[in-house]
């Protein structure tokens, strides 16, 4: 029928049902004697796709035609020395499959698909790994399966997916091995058959390990044996680059409030209520005017830092991670990082605790001031910054309004065209024509975000503050306490923070709020991001077809899964185990508070809950999409409730029932979709109003931070 080739490849088309109707469907497994393999020739991921140099090299890819954008993706994947830690496994089938037979049964000997660790040098060897989401795509004729939600495979370990004859066709006939796989499985080595020898080198050790856990060797009809990538090594490389780059330095102080530019009320507006949020009306009553609470703030300073750039291009140009001739990540020069610093009244200026804020995609340094009063009540300064491609660093930068008060007058804090910023993050604008939509640009954006945060952390701990102190007499004695530097990551900033926390041992505490588990899940499941992906990116990648999220899901598409693999080093869920459970460096561990919104229609709950399970931290509230251990009500407040390799920490995730993505920024919001928030989403007849527990969430964050900076250990109270 050729449906596979029509919708995807270049690899040989899977056969129609009639081709295999007599004896049953066949799992494709055909290894050539030498050379690279077309995707799908054997199950993916598999060591057989590696060349003699250890690099993964494909012939054809699972995309329609041969879009030039994949040339860069191929090059990036060739540098990986392992496969993804959360991605799907795939096997192409000649014939039809009954999807009901893909459902897991207890025990390795009964399961249609088995995933297990087979690294004999590791204590993980022989451990079964739960799988989920087994799917049959009747159009491309591919079986897909992945680790269960909350499961992240360990880095640099060998695993195997085994597909067994318990998988059946609609008529009940068993899935069969290819002739080559059957020979590799059942017959002695044949030194005259180079292709068979190549297959046996991978197949035989995997089968031996499977037999040890009770899998019948004869029942295995195809397998994918693979080694996982060293996922946190990318963040380690960014950290090491920032550490040896010239010390970040302030190059300009632009404004101080109160000062020549105006009062604090001129900057923040005059809120009519003393509560947090960006939806508080201004006391003036003028339509469109608002006020952000700032009762505890003594002064605000805007300025610019110079710090390392690790992506190609310069200024507002988009870029991919820069690698030298040795394949290692490198710097390309420097960038200006505009910042906005608030300092609270009555704090210890000589040992000032600090909260570094990295906001959501589309936000600017001004949005960090939403948290200035909350942190100020705990005596903590707040430093927000314009992330790469945002604010003053955006191609669309302009200053026409007051970002905080809504007044129609410049405030010296540049805003931007939000859609333009997001499309540049995705490589859909500003790229080379041949690379439009290349997810390498998103990898680059996340890499630079990480570098920005690490550069700021280095500066506030060890940098020269003389220009800052000279900006205002009230700041003359300002010094940040290196032991009390904290991090707040909101949405995209929360995802990025997982990479930072995985490699930086000096952060006192972190609050990670309303973020998805990964960029790929955000793109596939978040309504606005999915819309941009379908319109601006997916056509460039050659990922075509109707993904209705019922019969066909984008996340199980093989080409999209290659994008997931490409982005793995910057995916929060892939890095979650290294935040606390498996630290990559020695040093005092951070206390961490995750804030989740149960009605989040941007970062859908299944993605975020899976991350919490992967991080192995307990949950407070209702968690229904991943195996999160719940905190008993009587156990609150939490303090030093987890023991890590680096010492005890306070850590938990708090889920606020029906709260929306705007949990920390808006009291009043709306909901457009009917729970449960799982794709395919069901739209409401009309949006309904939602009142967010914004006061409670800010109070939770304040008490968490206050305990950390005053006692050296955070605490988490009941919501």
Q: Taking residues 126-145, report their average pLDDT.
A: 93
Q: Of the candidates 611, 595, 705, 718, which has an alpha carbon nearest to the alpha carbon of residue 659?
A: 595
| Predicted local confidence at residue 211, as pLDDT | 94
Q: What is the 3-state secondary structure (H, E, C) of 110-174?
A: CCCEEEEECCCCCCCCCCEECEEEEEEECCCCEEEEEECCCCCCCCCCEEEEEEECCCECCCCCE
Backbone φ and ψ for 416, nearest 5 degrees, come out as -150, 175
Residue 109 vs residue 195, higher pLDDT = 195
Q: Taking residues 346-370, report their average pLDDT.
A: 97
- Please report the DSSP string for 64-88 in residue order: SS--THHHHHHHHHHT-SSB-SS--
Please determine, for residue 18, whether its predicted confidence score (pLDDT) is greater than 60: no
Position 633 confidence tier, pLDDT thresholds 50, 70, 90: confident
Percent of the chain exceeding pLDDT 70 equals: 95
Q: Taking residues 282-304, report their average pLDDT.
A: 95
- Please report the DSSP string for 599-660 in residue order: T-SSS-HHHHHHHHHHHT--EES---SS-PPBPPGGGPSBSS-EEETTEEE-EEEEEETT--
d(CA 606, CA 621) in angstroms, rounded, equals: 14
Ranking 18-22, 258-262, 647-651 by mean pLDDT, the lowest is 18-22
Q: Tell me: the pLDDT tens digits for 653-669?
A: 999 999 999 999 999 99
Q: Taking residues 684-689, report their average pLDDT.
A: 98
| Predicted local confidence at residue 719, as pLDDT | 87
Distance of alpha carbon 131 from its chain centroid, rounded? 20
Q: Tell me: the pLDDT tens digits for 153-181?
A: 999 999 999 999 999 999 999 999 999 99
CB under 8 Å to 309, separation ≥6 — which residues?
331, 332, 333, 334, 335, 448, 451
d(CA 139, CA 64) in angstroms, rounded, equals: 14
pTM of the model: 0.95
Q: Tell me: the pLDDT tens digits for 603-626?
A: 999 999 999 999 999 999 999 999
| Predicted local confidence at residue 66, as pLDDT | 74
C-beta of residue 517 within 8 angstroms of C-beta of residue 573: yes
Position 191 confidence tier, pLDDT thresholds 50, 70, 90: confident
| Predicted local confidence at residue 8, as pLDDT | 38
d(CA 529, CA 554) in angstroms, rounded, equals: 13
| Predicted local confidence at residue 65, as pLDDT | 79
Q: Taking residues 137-161, report their average pLDDT.
A: 96
Q: What is the 3-state secondary structure (H, E, C) of 400-434?
A: CCCCCCCCCCCCCCCECCHHHHHHHHCCCCCCCHH
Please determine, for residue 137, whether its predicted confidence score (pLDDT) is greater than 70: yes
| Predicted local confidence at residue 19, as pLDDT | 41
Length of the chain: 719
CB under 8 Å to 478, separation ≥6 — which residues?
343, 349, 350, 352, 465, 468, 469
Backbone φ and ψ for 612, nearest 5 degrees, come out as -60, -40
Q: Which domains does the chain show, CATH number per domain? A: 3-227 (2.60.40.1220), 247-482 (no CATH), 505-518+571-719 (no CATH)
CB under 8 Å to 47, separation ≥6 — which residues?
202, 225, 226, 227
Q: Tell me: the pLDDT tens digits for 272-292?
A: 999 999 999 999 888 889 999
For the chain, the 3-state helix, strand and coil shares in percent, each to the nearest 5, are 30, 25, 45
| Predicted local confidence at residue 10, as pLDDT | 38
Q: Where are the alpha helices (DSSP H) in 213-276?
A: 233-244, 264-268
Q: What is the largest CA-CA distance in the chain?
A: 88
d(CA 86, CA 574) in angstroms, rounded, equals: 7
Q: Tell me: the pLDDT tens digits for 496-526?
A: 999 999 999 999 999 999 999 999 999 999 9
CB under 8 Å to 131, separation ≥6 — which residues?
104, 111, 113, 114, 115, 145, 146, 147, 148, 161
CB under 8 Å to 140, separation ≥6 — which residues?
3, 4, 7, 8, 14, 62, 92, 558
| Predicted local confidence at residue 123, as pLDDT | 63
Other beta carbons within 10 angstroms of residue 206's beta carbon come to 23
Q: Tell me: the pLDDT tens digits for 568-597?
A: 999 999 999 999 999 999 999 999 999 999
Handedness of CA 655, 657, 662, 667 (dihedral sign): negative
Position 140 confidence tier, pLDDT thresholds 50, 70, 90: very high
Q: Tell me: the pLDDT tens digits for 254-271?
A: 999 999 999 999 999 999
Please determine, for residue 432, whether its predicted confidence score (pLDDT) is greater than 50: yes
| Predicted local confidence at residue 16, as pLDDT | 45
Question: Helices 194-212 & 179-186, crossing angle to 10 degrees?
Answer: 60
Arithmetic mean of pLDDT over the chain: 94
Position 7 confidence tier, pLDDT thresholds 50, 70, 90: very low
Residue 293, H or E segment: none
Q: Taking residues 525-553, report their average pLDDT.
A: 94
C-beta of residue 320 within 8 angstroms of C-beta of residue 437: no
Please determine, for residue 67, whether its predicted confidence score (pLDDT) is greater than 80: yes
C-beta of residue 503 within 8 angstroms of C-beta of residue 584: yes
Position 14 confidence tier, pLDDT thresholds 50, 70, 90: low
CB under 8 Å to 700, separation ≥6 — which residues?
593, 595, 654, 716, 717, 719
d(CA 491, CA 267) in angstroms, rounded, equals: 25
């Amino acid at each position: 029928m050729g449906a596979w080739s029509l919708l995807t490849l270049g690899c040989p088309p899977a056969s129609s049902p009639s081709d295999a109707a007599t004896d049953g469907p066949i799992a494709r497994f055909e290894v050539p004697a030498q050379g690279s393999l077309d995707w799908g020739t054997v199950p993916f991921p598999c060591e057989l796709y590696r060349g003699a140099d250890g690099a993964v090299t494909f012939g054809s890819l699972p995309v329609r035609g041969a879009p030039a954008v994949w040339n860069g993706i191929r090059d990036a994947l060739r540098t990986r020395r392992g496969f993804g830690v959360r991605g799907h496994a795939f096997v192409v089938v000649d014939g039809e499959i009954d999807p009901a037979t893909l459902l897991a049964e207890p025990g390795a000997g009964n399961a249609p698909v088995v995933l297990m660790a087979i690294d004999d040098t590791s204590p993980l060897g022989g451990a079964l790994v739960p799988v989920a989401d087994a799917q049959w795509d009747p159009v491309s004729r591919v079986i897909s399966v992945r680790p269960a939600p909350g499961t992240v495979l360990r880095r640099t370990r060998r695993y195997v997916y085994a597909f067994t004859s318990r998988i059946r066709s609609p008529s009940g006939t068993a899935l069969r091995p290819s002739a080559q796989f059957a020979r590799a499985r059942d017959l002695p080595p044949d030194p005259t058959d180079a292709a068979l020898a190549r297959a046996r080198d991978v197949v035989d050790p995997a089968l031996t390990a499977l037999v040890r856990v009770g899998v019948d060797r004869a029942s295995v009809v195809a397998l994918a044996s693979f080694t996982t990538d060293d996922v946190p090594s990318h963040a380690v490389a960014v950290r090491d680059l920032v550490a040896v780059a010239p010390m970040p330095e302030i190059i300009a102080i632009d404004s101080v409030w109160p000062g020549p530019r105006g009062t604090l009320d001129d900057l923040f507006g005059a809120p009519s209520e003393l509560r947090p949020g960006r939806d508080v009306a201004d006391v003036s009553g003028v339509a469109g005017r608002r006020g952000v609470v700032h009762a505890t703030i003594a002064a605000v300073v805007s300025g610019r830092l110079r710090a390392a750039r690790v992506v190609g291009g310069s200024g507002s140009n988009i870029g991919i991670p820069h690698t030298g001739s040795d394949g290692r990540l490198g710097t390309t020069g420097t960038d200006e990082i505009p910042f906005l610093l608030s300092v609270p009244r009555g704090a210890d200026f000589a040992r000032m605790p600090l909260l570094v804020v990295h906001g959501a995609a589309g936000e600017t340094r001004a949005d960090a001031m939403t948290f200035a009063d909350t942190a100020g009540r705990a005596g903590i300064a707040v430093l927000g910054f314009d992330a790469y491609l945002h604010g003053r660093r955006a191609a669309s930068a302009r200053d026409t309004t007051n970002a905080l008060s809504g007044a129609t007058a410049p405030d010296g804090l540049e805003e931007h065209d939000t859609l333009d910023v997001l499309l540049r993050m995705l490589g859909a604008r500003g790229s080379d024509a041949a690379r439009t939509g290349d997810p390498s640009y998103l990898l680059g954006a996340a890499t630079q975000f990480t570098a920005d945060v690490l550069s700021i952390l280095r500066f506030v701990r060890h940098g020269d503050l003389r220009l800052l102190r000279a900006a205002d007499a009230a700041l003359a004695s300002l010094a940040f306490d290196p032991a009390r530097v904290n991090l707040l990551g909101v949405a995209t900033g929360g995802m990025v923070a997982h990479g930072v926390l995985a490699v930086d041992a000096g952060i006192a505490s972190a609050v990670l709020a309303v973020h998805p588990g990964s960029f790929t899940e955000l793109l596939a499941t978040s309504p606005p991001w999915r819309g941009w992906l379908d319109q601006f990116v997916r056509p460039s990648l050659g990922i075509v077809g109707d993904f209705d999220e019922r019969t066909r899901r984008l996340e199980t598409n093989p080409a999209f899964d290659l994008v997931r693999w490409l982005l793995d080093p910057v995916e929060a869920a892939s890095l979650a185990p290294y935040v606390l459970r498996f630290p990559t460096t020695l040093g005092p561990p951070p206390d961490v508070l995750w804030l989740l919104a149960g009605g989040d229609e941007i970062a859908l709950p299944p993605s975020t809950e899976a991350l919490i399970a992967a991080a192995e931290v307990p949950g407070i509230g209702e968690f229904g999409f991943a195996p999160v251990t719940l905190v008993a009500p009587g156990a609150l407040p939490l303090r030093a409730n987890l023991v890590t390799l680096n010492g005890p920490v306070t850590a938990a995730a708090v889920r606020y029932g029906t709260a929306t993505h705007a949990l920390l920024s808006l009291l009043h919001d709306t909901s457009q979709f009917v729970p449960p928030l799982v794709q395919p989403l069901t739209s409401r007849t009309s949006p309904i109003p939602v009142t967010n527990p914004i006061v409670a969430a800010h109070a939770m964050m304040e008490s968490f931070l206050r305990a950390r900076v005053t006692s050296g250990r955070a605490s988490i109270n009941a919501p």
